[in-house]
Structure formats: structure tokens, C-alpha cells
Structure 1
Amino acid sequence: MAHEGGLALVRKSVEVLDLLAAKGEATAAQLAEELGEPRSSVYRLLSSLQGLDMVEGGSRRGTFRLGFHLLTLGTAVVERFDERRFAQPVMERLHDETGETVYLCVQRGREAVCIERLDGRRVQSLALKLGGALPLHAGAASRALLAFQDRSAWSDYLEQGPVERFTPSTPVTADTLIPVLEETLDTGVSVSDQDVTVGVAALGVPILDYRGQVRAALSISGVREAILGTDPAGLRERLVEAGQEISRALGWQAVTGAVADFG
């Protein structure tokens, strides 16, 4: 019974931290309402988390936000990814050359999780934040991760759960998603045209390992005119070259020999 109680407390703590991550700041009353828990219980839990530096006081009286200890934990998680280590200098160069937001994502279950993001000079308020996630059917990096898996994974993804529509352009059925994945597989570049945020577009490419299997996805995003308007071929070429450079660092092509370019 004590073991079950301990697990319940850990689960509730994680739920509180997740809510604070989503909201930025919240009061104990707001969190209690979201969780369906007594305000006094939530306040005691927040006090305990505050003592561990997991939570701290917010910018307004009575509010709470995530604490700096989580930054240490998050940094330790992010730094274990070889993809990020190899991608960092390539992403910085791509960012300097284009001025757009550059992402690196890895798959976790049915989602693409952003493990690195360099903010663009023109557009910064994009949907995918560092540490945030999008479902695999939405966005350029997400679909690059899904497209380069076995086709059986496509069907499994559609069958295993609800598929969220973000905008009228989001592909949410087999008839709309599978052709997009096939095009991505054929061209090597995933195109997101306002299917996550209206007015915003993105391009994505896979990062492959020594087995030729997708390990991550590199993406560039900005206002639609900048990504798909002025010089889309040149931007695609830069992105593909960047993706291939990171993939070679992970052993792609150097070990497997003649592997078809993914761009």
C-alpha cells in the first residue's frame, strides 16, 4: 500500500510539473481545478516541490512556475543525444545562412520531440518549442521521422489513436496523410504548408544512422513566403546538404556504402 501511495504521489507531482510547463505560471487553485484535487493537497505538493527547487514562485503573487533544478535535469537528458552533438555546428551554420528557425527532433512514441532549436530572426513564436512535441502527422520534422520508417508504421500510426487537426491543411486521414508521406519518401524532403500554424511553413529532412535508419529530423521553419516563396529550391538544397552532413557523422553512407541520397 505504501508503494502504491508513493507512486501516486510521484504521478501527481509529474502532472503538476506538466501543467506548469504548459501554462508557464499558475496558482495552486488553478492547478487544483485542472487536476480535480483539493487545493490544500496541491499547495502542500507545491511546497514540497519548491523545497527541491523543482518549482519556484512566479512573477505574480500566489503563482508558481518550474524551478531551475529542472533545467539541470533537462540539460542532462538533451546532452545524451549524439544527434544533437553532431547537429549543433551544422544547425548554427544553416541558421546563420538563412535567418530562419532551425529544429532538431527525435521520435518519442507518437510524437516528434524538439531537442534543439535555434530561433529565427524574423519569426520566433512558432508552435514547436525546445522540449515540446508535435504528433508525427503534423509538421515537417514530424513527417520526416514517420515517412522514413517502414510503411507498416504509417498504418499503425493511423490506427492506434486519434489524429489531431491543427489547421484545415493538416493531413488527418489515410487519404491525405499517406500521399504526403510517399512524396516525402520520394523527394527526401518533408513540406509543411500551414498545417500546424496558419501563415507558417517548414521543410524537413531525415537524419539517418549507419544502418540507414532514421534517427532524427532536421527542419527549417518561418513565414510561408520565406520558406516556400522566394528560393525554395535553394533552401531545400541547403537543408538536404545539412541533413546529409549530420547523417554522415552518425555513420550513414560511410559504413553502408552506396546509399541513395535522401534529397
Structure 2
Amino acid sequence: MAQAMVTTSTNAKKVNDPTPVKTLEVLEVLASVNGGMGVTEISRALNLSKSTVHRILTALVERQYVLKDETSRRYRLGFKLLLLSSQVLDSLELRQIARPELVELANKSRETVHLVWLEGDEGVYVEKIDTPETIGLLSRVGKRVPLYSTAVGKTMLAFMEDKRLASYLARVKLTPVTPNTITDPIMLKEHLVRVRQQGFALDCEENRLGVICVAAPIFHSNGQVIAAISISGPEFRFPVARAQELGPVVREAALRISKKLGFIQGF
């Protein structure tokens, strides 16, 4: 028997996405069975109309989250979901690998230390070690931050491929977060060249007034920048000069983490 051809229907017409909840329900019901399901089966299982199910599946197939077997007319989960899940697993693994270095930086600086994961056009706090001092920072794991106005973000932008950086600058509006935020794309690119040269970035009250930060990038084994670590503190206790002094320390800590992930190059 000839093997059925599985396609992603890339030529399908664009459709309006249905509600997110219904879309998630379709993904969940497909995950609950082996061998895939047809439109009628999904419709009955979720008590949705066939037209609604078909619209949802068309959108998911276009984005490769679902694959359609053109012979059997059945749908199953696509491999793109593995990419999303692997990113989550990578971030969890990174936390375990990075934590000893974060603790050492926290002990050395006595300031707040963060591990930030690169996700799309933003950074996401995935680990935090608080300062032992009375006054700390109001940050939390799970919080998202801009790339262009933060030390962690700028150090990741600085080590992106040129094409990816150009796409980011064309897509993201550089809105001022504080009066110190760099909002001119040309100036930001010039700034990133200097960041790349020294291997770490400073945030001089660019994302929050009164807060100074120094950060360095973390690389995966494939050479792609995936995260950053940072030391942050209030300006009265953690001035720019102190952040600059700790820049090489943060850079070396980030490089040690990168090497544990399989990265074999240096800055």
C-alpha cells in the first residue's frame, strides 16, 4: 500500500483566526488521540460546527501547527509544536545550569541578579536572585521587558545575526521608556556595535529611572544568542562606574554558562 502523503497546505487561502479558546480546544483534542481526526470527529467531540472547525484547522495548517493527510483527510499535530515545547524545556534547563553562576554574581555584587530568556521581540525573566540589601528591585519571574531599553535586551540584540536585528528594528517602534531610552534606530545600532566589542551592555536608567544594570549574553551550542544574565541595582548604591567595573565579570559568567550549553567560541 502506498504511504499517504502528508502536506501542510501552504497554498491554502488566508482566513480569519477563530477565538483562541476554540483553537486551543482543537489542539487539545488532537493531542488526545493517535492517528489524527477528521473534521466531523472534531466537530462532534467539541460540539462545534463543521465550518468553525474547518476554519480553525485551516489557520493551524497554514502555520504548520497541524498537518493534514490529503489522502485520509485527517488532521494531526504538527512538528512546529515541538519547537515551542523545546524552547520551554531549554529555558528550564538553562535555569538549572545558570543558577550557580547567578548565585556567585549575587554574592559578589550584593545586588539583584536576573536570568532573562529571549522570546520573540521581548525578554522574559526566568530566574531572579534578590539583593540582601533593604532596598531591592520590583521585578518578578515571568515579567516581560523590551529589548531596546534594557541591558539584557541590548546585549542580546548586539549578538543577533544582522538579518534578524534588521527585522527587529523594522518591526519594533522604539518608544521612550525614560528620557534616557535610545529611540533612534541608527544610534541604537551604533550603540550595539560598542556592546558587541566589549561583550556586555549597560542600562543607564534607560528602562527605569534610578536603576542601573549590566548584562552579558548567553549562547546556545549553535551559536545563537538565547538569553542574558544581569546585575541590577539602584543608582545611589550601584552607580554606572560600578556596573562598568563588573561588566567583564558578568561577561565571563555568561560565557561559562554558554560553554555548559555546548557553545565553543568566545566573544
Please state whether the residue corresponding to 2:203 is helix, strand or coil: strand
Equivalent position amino acid for 1:222 in 2: G
In 1, distance between residues paired with 2:219 and 2:261? Answer: 7
For structure 1, the 5+ residue unaligned runs are 12-76, 254-258
In 2, distance between residues paired with 1:100 and 1:124? Answer: 8
Please state whether the residue corresponding to 2:221 is helix, strand or coil: coil
Aligned to 1:7: 21
Equivalent position amino acid for 1:221 in 2: S
1:200 maps to 2:211: yes
Aligned to 1:27: none
Kindly tell me: are residues 109 and 233 of structure 1, through their superposed partners in 2, closer, same or farther at Cα, counting changes over 3 Å?
A: closer
Q: Which structure 2 residues correspond to residues 117-156 of structure 1 after superposition, within 5 A? A: 117-122=128-133, 123-126=135-138, 128-156=139-167
Task: Report deviation, 1:79.
Answer: 8.2
Q: Deviations over 1:7-65 (max 9, x none)?
A: 36979xxxxxxxxxxxxxxxxxxxxxxxxxxxxxxxxxxxxxxxxxxxxxxxxxxxxxx
Aligned to 1:212: 223
Equivalent position amino acid for 1:189 in 2: F
Q: Which structure 2 residues correspond to residues 84-95 of structure 1 after superposition, within 5 A? A: 84-95=95-106
In 2, distance between residues paired with 1:110 and 1:187? Answer: 23
In 1, distance between residues paired with 2:161 and 2:233? Answer: 30
Q: Give percent identity, aligned residues only.
A: 27
In 2, distance between residues paired with 1:224 and 1:6? Answer: 43
In 1, distance between residues paired with 2:213 and 2:194? Answer: 15
Aligned to 2:246: 235
Task: Report deviation, 1:216.
Answer: 0.9
Please state whether the residue corresponding to 1:237 is helix, strand or coil: helix
1:244 maps to 2:251: no
Equivalent position amino acid for 1:196 in 2: N
In 2, distance between residues paired with 1:206 and 1:6? Answer: 34
Please give the root-mean-square deviation of Cα atoms over the aligned residues, in Å. Answer: 2.6
Structure number with the higher helix fraction is 1
Q: Is this contact kept in 1: 2:180–2:206, CA < 8 A?
A: yes
Task: Decide which structure has the larger Cα Rg and report it.
Answer: 2
Task: Report deviation, 1:209.
Answer: 2.1
Q: Is this contact kept in 2: 1:227–1:235, CA < 8 A?
A: no
Q: Deviations over 1:128-155 (max 9, x none)?
A: 4210011111110111111110122222
Report the count of equivalent residues.
Answer: 188
Kindly tell me: are residues 226 and 244 of structure 1, through their superposed partners in 2, closer, same or farther at Cα, counting changes over 3 Å?
A: farther
Q: Is this contact kept in 2: 1:78–1:115, CA < 8 A?
A: no
Please state whether the residue corresponding to 2:128 is helix, strand or coil: strand
